[in-house]
Structure 1
Amino acid sequence: MPQERPRYQERPSRLPGAVVWTWDAPEGPPPAPRSVLPDGCMDLIWTGGRIVVAGPDTHAFEVDPENRGSCAAIRFAPGTAPVLLGVPASLLRDHRADLADLWPSPAVRRLTERIEQDPDPAGALERFVLDRMAETGPPDPRTVAVAEGLRRGRSVAATAAEAGLGARQLHRRSLAAFGYGPKTLARILRLQRALELIRTGLPYAEAACAAGCTDQAHLAREMRDLAGTTLGAYFGAGDADANSETPQPSGSSTTA
């Protein structure tokens, strides 16, 4: 018998730091609810004849099973999507919005039709994003430096100094680029680092310290605050590999 095509697939995008992903909805009843943990990223999702923008989250977002139809999407590296969309990330914090609510309806309708008619919707969406980025230009390099510094576990103060930004400048730029302040982004990226280490088999306590937490108790508090659950419940429920708007197979990772 031919091997079944994986329902979730992803690949690196030609846009630096981005990931293109697709989900083929299963037949029958909708899948069980799944939680999407904050990761500092934003997604542009084509599904059900519409294009949706998934804003940056500050807490776990539970995807409605009824909204898990087949889709094609691109996940942007932190700070990238606001340049493409032309709106600050803070406007979309903890929110999912139709692109038609942000852009003129005729332009969104033409884009939606183009994607629907393409035999490779994910490729069509990626080409649009690349063309759009060619028009808007890349993100502010200092914003990119901030995201990279925090991703590597640098302190907010050290990251600001390296980027040549004062505290107020850093906070203002972070709200526009990431949707929240640099301390929140640092916490989210640290939690994602810890979860990634745990996925490799590292014990909770070792993963906590390696990711930058003071100890396992610190990681447990962050998990409750940002994910609304415990490490044991999260990994035990099978949500550990599901950080897109749809479920993913075991072993996948979409952390920035």
Structure 2
Amino acid sequence: MRSYAETPPTGPLRAVVEVAWRAHTGTAPHVQRVLPDGCMDLLLSGGRAVVAGPDTTAHLAGSPAGGVTTGLRFRPGALPALLGVPADALRDRRVPLADVLDPGRRRLLRPTPAGDGDGDAAWLARLALALQAAAVDDRTPAPLPRPALRALAGGMPAAELADRLGVTGRTLHRRCVATLGYGPAVARRVLRFRAAAALLYDGVPPAAVAARTGYADQPHLSREVRALAGVSPASLAPRTGSPDLAATAGSARSGERVRGQVQANRSSDEPSGSATVA
């Protein structure tokens, strides 16, 4: 049986990591629908370390029978500074970590563990801490503050947000592209969808979800869900539905949920996302 579990980060990692997670495929291969949510992940599976970039549409990720994937889901905009790579360079991509890091950061890599689960999690945590320390003097823009992310998710126009942050619209656009992987307009769509997906999985009716998350009406919500997730809003509701949306104890980019987070993006072999704007 497929399983998924999350662990809250501790210590300094709490500033940049939303959650540590582990997915076990079980006895049959599994395909996970990974939904866009503004997050990026570091993944370790079968001794292979991968960066999952920010998604703009759903990504179908397959896991073999018995596969175990361990990951760190980073807060929106946080991982690019640690990697020293702008988020748009990794948009809609899954890339081996060694191919992403510059020579200085690549020296932080150590041989990956054999895949015993706990060892994988400890390896990822040590790596994230090392990358966090190495990024202190990096010139990659800092992520948007959480109130700004919430404002975008709530539909605030880019010009108004730029005024609140005391920057020009062009500066805000560059900062969004470098940290989130796309400009404010796409970020607004993705972050609002993230909030809507969490409510849909909680069983909130689509009309109420549309009203609560700033969509013009239920048809607007339906169009956006289909565009970003590739499925209807009903497919994200808790049910025994199609195989790639089956809910277990899991994460928010495909429709699984733990401790208030839709798990649709993180419980796959190569996921990239989450369900709350932290």
Q: TM exceeds 0.5?
A: yes
What 5-or-longer segments of structure 2 have no aligned partner? 247-253, 257-262, 269-273
Task: Give the superposition deviation at 1:141.
Answer: 5.2
Match of 2:6 in 1: 10
Deviation digits for residues 29-61 of structure 1 (CA, Å, limit 9, x no counterpart) = 312x22111000000001111100000000000
Higher helix share: 1
Alignment partner of 1:240: what SS?
coil
Structure 1 residues 208 and 62 mapped into 2: Cα distance closer, same or farther (>3 Å)? same
Match of 2:264 in 1: 243
Which is further off, 140-149 or 39-48?
140-149
Which is further off, 112-121 or 71-80?
112-121
Match of 1:21 in 2: 21
- 2:78 touches 2:179 (CA, 8 Å); kept in 1? yes
Which is further off, 49-58 or 107-116?
107-116
Distance in 1 (alpha carbons) for counterparts of 2:38 and 2:106? 25
Distance in 2 (alpha carbons) for counterparts of 1:218 and 1:129? 39
- 1:50 touches 1:112 (CA, 8 Å); kept in 2? no
Structure 1 residues 117 and 10 mapped into 2: Cα distance closer, same or farther (>3 Å)? closer
Structure 1 residues 48 and 79 mapped into 2: Cα distance closer, same or farther (>3 Å)? same
Which is further off, 85-94 or 69-78?
69-78
- 2:34 touches 2:61 (CA, 8 Å); kept in 1? yes
Match of 1:250 in 2: none
Structure 1 residues 202 and 61 mapped into 2: Cα distance closer, same or farther (>3 Å)? same
Distance in 2 (alpha carbons) for counterparts of 1:178 and 1:68? 33
Distance in 2 (alpha carbons) for counterparts of 1:142 and 1:79? 5
Alignment partner of 1:64: what SS?
strand
Structure 1 residues 182 and 67 mapped into 2: Cα distance closer, same or farther (>3 Å)? farther
Structure 1 residues 215 and 182 mapped into 2: Cα distance closer, same or farther (>3 Å)? same
- 1:73 touches 1:125 (CA, 8 Å); kept in 2? yes
Structure 1 residues 9 and 209 mapped into 2: Cα distance closer, same or farther (>3 Å)? same
Match of 2:80 in 1: 82
- Higher RCO by CA contacts (8 Å cutoff, separation 6 or greater): 2
Distance in 1 (alpha carbons) for counterparts of 2:188 and 2:66? 30
Structure 1 residues 230 and 78 mapped into 2: Cα distance closer, same or farther (>3 Å)? same
Match of 2:212 in 1: 210
The one-letter code sitting in structure 2 at the alignment partner of 1:24 is H
Structure 1 residues 156 and 110 mapped into 2: Cα distance closer, same or farther (>3 Å)? closer
Deviation digits for residues 159-202 of structure 1 (CA, Å, limit 9, x no counterpart) = 22221121111111111111100110111111111121222232
Match of 2:229 in 1: 227
What 5-or-longer segments of structure 1 have no aligned partner? 248-252
Task: Give the superposition deviation at 1:108.
Answer: 5.1
Distance in 1 (alpha carbons) for counterparts of 2:169 and 2:24? 44
Structure 1 residues 109 and 168 mapped into 2: Cα distance closer, same or farther (>3 Å)? closer
Match of 1:156 in 2: 158
The one-letter code sitting in structure 2 at the alignment partner of 1:189 is L
- 1:79 touches 1:147 (CA, 8 Å); kept in 2? no
- 2:35 touches 2:58 (CA, 8 Å); kept in 1? yes
Q: CA RMSD in A?
A: 2.9
Deviation digits for residues 201-229 of structure 1 (CA, Å, limit 9, x no counterpart) = 32110111101111111101101111122
Q: Which TM-score applies when normalising by structure 1?
A: 0.84
